[in-house]
Structure 1
Amino acid sequence: MKFNKLKILTIAALASGLFFCCAQQPKQNNHQVSKIVRQTISTKLPWSERMMQSEMKRFPEAWMLDFHKSPKWSYPNGLVLKGAEQLFKKTGKREYYDYIKAYADELVNANGTIKTYDINKYNLDMLNSGNVLIYLFLATKDEKYLKGAQLLRSQLNDHPRTSEGGFWHKKIYPNQMWLDGLYMAEPFYASYTRLFNDGAEAEKAYNDIVNQFDVIQKHMVDSKTGLLYHGWDESKEQQWADKQTGLSPNFWGRAMGWYGMAIVDVLDYLPENHPGREKLIGYLKSYSEALLKVQDGKTGLWYQVLDKGNEKGNYLEASASSMFVYTFAKAARKKYLPTSYKTVAKKAYNGILKNLITVEPNGVVNLNKNCAVAGLGGTPYRSGTYDYYVNEEIRSNDPKGTGPFILASLELEK
């Protein structure tokens, strides 16, 4: 692997806008974190900060995000901490940086090994929080963060794939691609490539990243609605898989949310002259057009099962709606989509504030009606039916909702 210090410094300035002016780096300050835990959260702050501070109050240590009882390397943590990173850049408030660093320092050992992470499970979910390590390495130049990121990146070298090169979602889910996996792996893969690879090595990686989206588009887009199914089993052996197409039976909101965020975030790193850029923007346009057709006209929100809003048990779901707001707002700002999508994003965002947000007397903000989790197969077996999706646990303040809400808020606050 080629390690180009000048390139890292240049990209660091573009990617994070953050350089510390002296060798003494910010140290973990438990007093600053605990100060937020005790205080009332001001209603004068923008919603991005109000939600971030609410998360820090609910989860004083970032490893607690997703309601963990002990430290665990997991993807929702990285999702919320991406919001903390952007808030530190925007406000300069050191408690946001401390919150990020404390997570990595709890989970990453001095030699770069990561507690609770097992590379041999080949689980794409484990890669998302690698973005935290890249960010901290750029900020501190501490080699342990680089080694941790290198370890995660090495997973992709031997990760099992479909016949067309698509990453399996996990080793325990053979021959399967899920929309979720595109967000878990590709932004990290693209960011790592831009920072640490050059020449033919980088070109090969970028082509591989674009191919992940190509395989999804080839197999998982519904020709009638333009929506994308949650999962695809190339072997067609799973009980949930259609015997002709291998597709799961429904359009799950958050799965499409992950996919949209994956596209707009990968475009941050894919070179301007790479032919894959136009393809990804084309995929984003058709994806977005399909979502407009199933947006709830009254609230501007989206349903747990996207195309079945009128069916019994379905509900307007917070995490997917937040993800779509982020995707549309960012895509409009970057000019991947027409500016009209910013209006769409604002309508949906106002729908979230009106219908899904509650505020406690101490200022703590709650995001309600998040699907806690949904998947396919496994034990106990998840069938992918309509009844399965609408009967999964619904909870408040799931980080898979609060993280995208913070990111969506930041986009609309720019």
Structure 2
Amino acid sequence: MKSANLLLAGAVTVLAATATVHAQSSSIPAFKSWPRGASPAEIGQKTASRFIATPHTNFNRTTPPKVITYPETCTWYGALTFAKVTGNKALTQKLADRFEPLFGSRDSLIPVPDHVDYTVFGSVPLELYMQTKEERYLKIGKMFADKQWGPPEGKRVTAESHRFYDKGLTWQTRLWIDDMFMITAVQSQAFRATGNPMYITKAAKEMVFYLDSLQQPNGLFYHAPDVPYFWGRGDGWMAVGMSELLRSLPKNNPDRPRIMEGYKKMMATLLKYQAEDGMWRQLIDDPNSWKETSCTGMFTCAFITGVKEGWLDKSIYAPAARKAWLSLIKYINSDGDITDVCEGTNKKDSHQYYLDRKRNTGDLHGQAPLLWCATAFLR
């Protein structure tokens, strides 16, 4: 009975929040008047509920993880931000309940912050701190953010770790484009939670280093310097990472113009490669490549954020974001799982390797962007 009441309270809260946001978004016609079952509030609630019902999961979703992996972190963070923008305190409580065992019997699930994929976990306790004001969350989250800028330590340290650290970058730098969400998410969160500009200032410098090192003349990014392919989700991490950073980066930050330049250049090229139905492809510039949902969600989120923040022309990018969203949600099945999600993918210098990646259903790499989009629409 208690569970049913919580769900009812959550549903009422979502409806109330939707009405408020509808009024706030009235200047963007493309972001209102959704078909039944297609609104960001409805999809966000459905996806968040699906996440709550999903146990801690490894990449293959068949074996329990040794530690919490970054796709779960990204989905958890998305569900928390969705709970915040909808004022759904019942949802926030359920997401906090998921964390509670990590303070005790299941603390071994907390990853060691010695790699970008593990350090991003700090974004979750930092969000929980901002919503609950419980200091125990801040302590964990701040430790993760601080370790990223501290001296190299642990079994993953290499000669390159020291070289990057000596240049004022994080020792976890590896020049994979995935990093530019993993680093910016936790550091932006640390700035939001503490107000200390050090976190976001360092993240901005790191972003400029990646832009200068990896962005190609057309605005897109190779997966890594030695892998000359525009892999959808890899570029998706970059697109969301830039928008996440810019959303909180102070206007007077000296690196802001360079990051905004890189962001707008990427958005213009993504618009060019958007398919007629609104989707994007596993290899962005290959018209014979299959349509992939995780990158579509990420690019959609970056478009929405740019329109809402006034960085992008709303007459052009708002309709494109709407088209993408309405196409993307058609891939959600009756269980609340999104289909056609590229499996976890390391870099490889092979065009065919990317085309042959398995298409997963319910993979958290794809669930997370749905929540990010819902939040961006409603923020």
Shorter-chain TM-score tier? 0.7 to 0.9
Count of aligned pairs between the two proteins: 336
CA spacing shift, 1:116–1:255, aligned 2, 3 Å:
same
CA spacing shift, 1:31–1:351, aligned 2, 3 Å:
closer
Structure with bigger gyration radius:
1
Q: Deviations over 1:354-375 (max 9, x none)?
A: 4x233x2xxx323110001111
CA spacing shift, 1:71–1:32, aligned 2, 3 Å:
farther
Q: Deviations over 1:322-364 (max 9, x none)?
A: 000111011110011111211111111122134x233x2xxx3
In 1, Cα distance between the equivalents of 2:286 and 2:167?
32
2:97 is aligned with 1:102: yes
Q: Given the alignment, which residue of 207, 210, 228 partners 1:213?
A: 207
In 2, Cα distance between the equivalents of 1:342 and 1:227?
21
Identity %: 21
CA spacing shift, 1:299–1:107, aligned 2, 3 Å:
same
Other-structure match for 2:281? 303
Contact 1:220 1:229 in 2 (8 A): yes
Contact 2:84 2:131 in 1 (8 A): no
2:351 is aligned with 1:386: yes
Q: Which secondary structure does the structure 2 equivalent of 1:128 belong to?
A: helix
Q: Given the alignment, which residue of 128, 135, 140 partners 1:148?
A: 140
Contact 1:256 1:320 in 2 (8 A): yes
CA spacing shift, 1:253–1:103, aligned 2, 3 Å:
same
Other-structure match for 1:279? 258
Task: Letter of the 1:229 partner, please give it.
Answer: Y
Contact 1:168 1:177 in 2 (8 A): no
Q: How is 1:334-373 mapped onto 2 (pairs within 5 angstroms)?
A: 334-339=309-314, 340-354=316-330, 356-358=331-333, 360=334, 364-373=335-344
CA spacing shift, 1:140–1:86, aligned 2, 3 Å:
closer
Other-structure match for 2:221? 228
Q: Please say which of residues 186-195 and 262-271 is displaced more in the overlay.
A: 186-195
CA spacing shift, 1:30–1:391, aligned 2, 3 Å:
farther
Q: How is 1:182-331 mapped onto 2 (pairs within 5 angstroms)?
A: 182-196=180-194, 198=196, 202-203=197-198, 205-223=199-217, 225-232=218-225, 241=226, 248-296=227-275, 298-310=276-288, 314-331=289-306
Task: Letter of the 1:306 partner, please give it.
Answer: I
Contact 2:71 2:365 in 1 (8 A): yes
> How many Å apart are 1:35 and its aligned residue?
6.9
2:377 is aligned with 1:398: no
2:76 is aligned with 1:81: yes
Contact 1:113 1:151 in 2 (8 A): no
Task: Letter of the 1:393 partner, please give it.
Answer: K
Contact 1:109 1:144 in 2 (8 A): no
CA spacing shift, 1:113–1:273, aligned 2, 3 Å:
farther
CA spacing shift, 1:65–1:345, aligned 2, 3 Å:
farther
Task: Letter of the 2:115 partner, please give it.
Answer: N
Give the gaps of 5 or more residues in structure 1: 1-28, 37-41, 171-175, 233-240, 242-247, 377-382
> How many Å apart are 1:51 and its aligned residue?
2.3
Give the gaps of 5 or more residues in structure 2: 9-35, 153-160
CA spacing shift, 1:410–1:137, aligned 2, 3 Å:
closer
Task: Letter of the 2:69 partner, please give it.
Answer: S
> How many Å apart are 1:87 and its aligned residue?
3.1
Contact 1:79 1:403 in 2 (8 A): yes
Task: Letter of the 2:283 partner, please give it.
Answer: V
Hey, which of these two has a bigger chunk of helix by percent? Answer: 2
In 1, Cα distance between the equivalents of 2:329 and 2:191?
37
> How many Å apart are 1:92 and its aligned residue?
4.0
Contact 2:130 2:193 in 1 (8 A): no
In 1, Cα distance between the equivalents of 2:103 and 2:2?
19
Other-structure match for 1:14? none
In 1, Cα distance between the equivalents of 2:327 and 2:229?
24
Q: Deviations over 1:123-174 (max 9, x none)?
A: 111122212211222333433212211321232112425375554657xxxx
Q: Which secondary structure does the structure 1 equivalent of 2:302 belong to?
A: helix
Q: Which secondary structure does the structure 2 equivalent of 1:299 belong to?
A: coil
CA spacing shift, 1:315–1:302, aligned 2, 3 Å:
same
CA spacing shift, 1:207–1:56, aligned 2, 3 Å:
closer
RMSD: 3.0
> How many Å apart are 1:114 and its aligned residue?
6.0
In 2, Cα distance between the equivalents of 1:69 and 1:213?
33
Q: Which secondary structure does the structure 2 equivalent of 1:309 belong to?
A: coil
